[in-house]
Structure 1
């Protein structure tokens, strides 16, 4: 998954960097606010890809005394930072530029340059979007789209997909806004397009922030995984009752498991240790993403008090 995520990010990084330069040149040449907003949008997206790559790199850092469970949550932190960047820089500047353009409208010079740039951007952005879409579809398996986003523990793939989707919508809005401005002779359409692009970025950022917040705080593993782990523990004859099964994603590929169990009366310490070892081994063999398992021997009466 990490390798696939990197491929998606690199594809988006190269595409956005080239598109950003082209859009800024077109904006300076034609004076279009919508094109300037699109240039800022692509520039922000380029920076976001770098942040995601930084998160993936730092997530691979080994565990140490200060971070005994590793740095897997770096991916979640930097994905959240990406959402803030989209909102603060992309949406904020686009809205400001659009409102400024409406207050002081000016006609777009030689709009055909913008059409050419937007057309090329749609081709490049469309390719990056399709690549991200394929990876997202492979990741979601048979789950629905919204369910896949909610339950996916590696946010990098859907973050890039969200960005590319917002980028395609922004290109369409810019194209329509410049076209309406040229057709009607009213330059206000250019500013309106910039405002709409800002709103698209704002909504995208809010959704990304919402989806990554839970991962950053500490989401549990998938309910089916939790159910199967509990079932494994229930099957042990040494265990009278499984009191509680707690899990947490410490990263996309690191699940922490804590199981509270009530052992049968009269078991000696050796049998308890052997059962814990076997349970630990079985869980990790069944679910490779489970890296640490803690089994807590606790009577139900003690847990309730």
Structure 2
């Protein structure tokens, strides 16, 4: 799973590096600050992807004496850094856009719309690809990486609309390009919250995995000797979910029999749910 995640991040880094160069050149020669702002975001995305890559590699390290539950918590911490990079880029773009609004400048070139159209299509494809892989391996940092692509597509759409207004409006509408950059900043900041909130929940060990809890309870009832389940606490670390489960058995069983049933239940859960890490079974008399 970690290899798939690393390949996905490398794909993002390469794509963002190429697009940053295209946006900067198109923005400079096409007189569009919205495109230059887009290029700034893509450049920041390259560095944030590097952070995600380092975080994935560190979080994939096996458990040791000091970290019996592994190093998975590094992943949401890296996500916080990615969000910080996005916020910094948004405010940088907004500040420069405001400066440009105050300064008269020439209209953008019409051919920049073709460049932006291709960029929007590519970024949306990249978003779908990375998000599908993020869901497959349950990685919060990869979801953040996917939202980088979506926010980049949004800023490109804003730039497309701004340049269109500037071109078709003619003289006096030059600042539409810069206002588009400001609108894009608002979308970026909104996406930052969407990335930050799940990562915060992961660090705080929020128990909000209803679908996984239901699967655990259903599988548990299929194990011979299990009468039912009570408490089920789940916390996520990296790409693994650690589970504390209270299961009920007949009250007249011996300690040895109850111990054997708990091991059978643990083995069954880890066999059918590959995303599980540590599983602690507490046996209760029915």
Give the TM interval when normalised to the shorter protein: 0.7 to 0.9
Name 2:200's counterpart in structure 1.
213
SS at match of 2:281: strand
Name 1:129's counterpart in structure 2.
124
The TM-score normalised by the length of structure 2 is: 0.83
| Contact 1:247–1:258 (CA under 8 A) maintained in structure 2 | yes
Q: CA deviation at 1:125?
A: 5.2
Separation in 2, partners of 1:133, 1:235: 36
Name 1:178's counterpart in structure 2.
163
Q: CA deviation at 1:93?
A: 1.0
Name 1:168's counterpart in structure 2.
153
Name 1:148's counterpart in structure 2.
none
Name 1:107's counterpart in structure 2.
105
| Contact 1:258–1:293 (CA under 8 A) maintained in structure 2 | yes
Q: CA deviation at 1:204?
A: 1.7
Name 2:92's counterpart in structure 1.
93
Name 1:45's counterpart in structure 2.
45
Q: Which consecutive residues of structure 2, in runs of 5 or more, have no partner in the other structure? A: none
Separation in 1, partners of 2:223, 2:160: 64
Name 2:191's counterpart in structure 1.
204
| Contact 1:17–1:43 (CA under 8 A) maintained in structure 2 | yes
Sort the Cα spacing of 1:250 and 1:94 in 2 relative to 1 into closer, same or farther, 3 A: same
Separation in 2, partners of 1:25, 1:135: 26
Q: CA deviation at 1:35?
A: 2.9
Q: CA deviation at 1:139?
A: 7.1
Q: Which consecutive residues of structure 1, in runs of 5 or more, have no partner in the other structure? A: 142-151, 301-305
Separation in 2, partners of 1:129, 1:157: 15
Shifted more, 78-87 versus 227-236: the winner is 227-236
Per-residue CA distance 1:199-222 (angstroms, 9 max, x = gap): 121122122222333233334474
Separation in 2, partners of 1:6, 1:275: 38
SS at match of 1:218: coil
What RMSD over aligned residues (CA atoms) do the two structures have, in Å? 3.0
In the alignment, structure 1 residue 16 sits paired with structure 2 residue 16: yes
Name 2:274's counterpart in structure 1.
288
Higher relative contact order (CA 8 A, sep 6+): 1
| Superposed counterparts of 1:10-89, under 5 Å | 10-29=10-29, 32-87=32-87, 89=88
SS at match of 2:236: strand
Name 2:244's counterpart in structure 1.
258
Q: CA deviation at 1:70?
A: 0.7
The TM-score normalised by the length of structure 1 is: 0.79
